[in-house]
């Protein structure tokens, strides 16, 4: 069977959730606003425009929203360059999947500048032959546009794709088009993810191509 796996980026390839939270807090404090982690968690899986709606509602006009997003993403990239922490096991799993014949794509709601930054730091990033980011699709997750675009570029039917996600929005997007799902519990609990994913893992430590193939087998049994 021809196999494909579509990886989200933040919280899946790189443990970047703390850096995103700190960046949002930094730009918010400079404008007399504050956010807590519970509010921040609701932004996971969406793009920056969606995050602004969740965190600030209508508080800022369009021009200021654009400035806030630009400053936040710049602060995030600076944090990544200072301390880059790949999710445990991913840098070994990516080349193992390629050797086993898997097709792989990045499918993320992150802006292209963040993708370039993270991919330049991640060992094995070259295994991801297709990369789809927020700038390439009309709708962010939980719409399935990003995953459908990635599958199309790989030449794969959605039913033959497995999506690896850390967010409920991403899992919902994948499942809505019949893709198999693995949840990575880097930002949400195993219990929260288990209600929406075919399998949940804490990280990729010890994972092999057979681990992911087993998700397909269990789903089709």
Residue 27 confidence class, pLDDT cut points 50, 70, 90: confident
pLDDT tens per residue, range 84-110: 999 999 999 999 999 999 999 999 989
Can you give the pLDDT at residue 208? Answer: 96
Can you give the pLDDT at residue 134? Answer: 87
Q: In what order do the strands lie in the sheet with 4-7?
A: 130-132, 103-107, 4-7, 161-165, 180-184, 199-201
* Assigned CATH for 4-15+85-220: 3.40.50.1000
- Mean pLDDT calculated for residue range 112-135: 95
Can you give the pLDDT at residue 220? Answer: 64
The Cα–Cα gap between 117 and 112 comes to 9
Domain coordinates of the chain in residue numbers?
A: 4-15+85-220, 17-82
Residue 51 confidence class, pLDDT cut points 50, 70, 90: confident
* pLDDT(221) > 60: no
Query: What is the distance, to the nearest Å, from the Cα of residue 29 to the centroid of all Cα atoms in its chain?
Result: 26
- Mean pLDDT calculated for residue range 133-137: 92
* pLDDT(131) > 80: yes
Cis peptide before 142, with omega less than 30 degrees from 0? yes
Nearest to 43 by CA among 25, 31, 30: 25
Token pair 């049994």 is found at 221
- Mean pLDDT calculated for residue range 18-38: 86
Average pLDDT, the chain: 92
pLDDT tens per residue, range 165-218: 999 999 999 999 999 999 999 988 999 999 999 999 999 999 999 999 999 877
Q: How big is the chain, counted in residues?
A: 221
Nearest to 212 by CA among 168, 201, 151: 201
- Mean pLDDT calculated for residue range 112-134: 96
Percentages (nearest 5) of helix, strand, coil residues in the chain? 50, 15, 35
Can you give the pLDDT at residue 54? Answer: 86
The Cα–Cα gap between 184 and 166 comes to 5
């Amino acid at each position: 069977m021809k196999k494909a796996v579509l990886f989200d980026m933040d919280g899946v390839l790189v443990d970047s959730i703390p850096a995103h939270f700190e960046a949002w807090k930094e730009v918010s404090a400079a404008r007399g606003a504050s956010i807590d982690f519970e509010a921040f968690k609701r932004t996971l899986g969406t793009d920056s425009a969606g995050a602004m709606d969740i965190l600030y509602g209508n508080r800022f006009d369009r021009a200021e929203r654009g400035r806030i997003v630009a400053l936040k993403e710049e602060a995030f990239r600076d944090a990544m360059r200072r301390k880059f922490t790949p999710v445990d096991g991913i840098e070994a799993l990516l080349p193992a999947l390629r050797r086993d014949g898997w097709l792989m794509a990045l499918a993320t709601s992150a802006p292209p500048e963040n993708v370039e930054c993270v991919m330049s730091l991640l060992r094995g990033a070259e295994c991801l032959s297709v990369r789809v980011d927020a700038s390439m699709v009309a709708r962010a997750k939980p719409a399935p546009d990003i995953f459908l675009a990635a599958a199309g570029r790989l030449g794969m039917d959605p039913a033959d794709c497995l999506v690896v996600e850390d967010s409920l929005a991403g899992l919902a997007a994948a499942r809505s088009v019949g893709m198999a799902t693995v949840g990575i519990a880097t930002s949400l609990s195993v219990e929260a993810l288990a209600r929406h994913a075919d399998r949940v893992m804490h990280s990729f430590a010890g994972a092999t191509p057979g681990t992911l193939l087993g998700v397909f087998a269990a789903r089709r049994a």
